[in-house]
A and B are shown apart, each in its own frame.
Chain A
Amino acid sequence: MTVKELAKILGATTVAESDFEREINGGYAGDLLSFVMGRAMPDCAWYTIMTNVNVCAVATLTDCAVVVICEDCTPDEMLVARAKSQGINVIATSLDMHSAIALVAKNC
């Protein structure tokens, strides 16, 4: 599944677009950045409600395919700017993490 396809399934809005044709392989859900850093695998979709700029550092470290900001959380302006400059895909959805992932599973 590509980032574009995931965004469509989740009815997500675009926060920062770098390469929405990028293929997603797996997923990880979590907000504690140390856990995410250690466990989210490259090319995954990372589901979180974190909205600060450090999300970008973790997204880059893990080389995730896309950050999915859940529950209508509004990303900081700094996150948006950093994601754009660093080429990180970020989308946002009104769904909570569980509902988002369940929906993705249904559509896989």
Chain B
Amino acid sequence: MQHIHLEYDVDGNNFVSAGQATENVKFCLKGLGINPQMIRRIAIAMYEGEINMVIHANGGKAIADIYMDKIVVQLVDTGEGIADINQAMQPGFSTATEDVRSLGFGAGMGLPNMRKYTDEFEIESTVGVGTHITMTVKF
């Protein structure tokens, strides 16, 4: 099936450019006439993912595949990985530094928000290897 494939490098340690991939995907979805509510959901999830990669993984890749009936976003990094995914999924759990918190991030809501706002959410992580998140929003 024909679909739109988009790939972005997310620059690590750069809070200024974080969100650029999300902005581009949002713009693309808008152009396709996708329901704004659905755009909002995937945009929140994707932005949280971008920020996570900046905070924890020194950047990574954001990949979006847009089909007729859904968008699938993958966030792939080669960061330190997550030792205890269940713990990381708990709202309020965060390992972010004070510096990151002073920017308004690190509330421990990133992963929970990503799960909350998407229809499908999968996370695989290996300590020392990296993290791979796949999330889907159905239109």
Whether A52 is near chain B, meaning CB under 8 Å from some CB there, is: yes
What is the size, in residues, of chain A's interface with B at 8 Å between Cβ atoms?
Answer: 22
> Is there contact, CB below 8 Å, between B22 and A57?
yes
Q: Which of B18, B104, B105, B116 counts the most A-chain CB atoms under 10 A from its CB?
A: B104
Decide if B113 touches A38 in the complex (CB within 8 Å): yes
Contact across chains for B44 and A54 when beta carbons are under 8 A apart: no
| Chain B interface SS verdict (over half) | helix
**Residue of B whose beta carbon sits closest to that of A49:** B104
Residue contact B15 to A37, C-beta cutoff 8 Å: no
Known A54-B19, A61-B40: A35·B48 in contact at CB below 8 Å = no
Chain B positions within 8 Å of A, measured between CB atoms, are 15-16, 18-19, 22-23, 26, 36, 40, 43-44, 47-48, 103-105, 107, 109-110, 113, 116-117
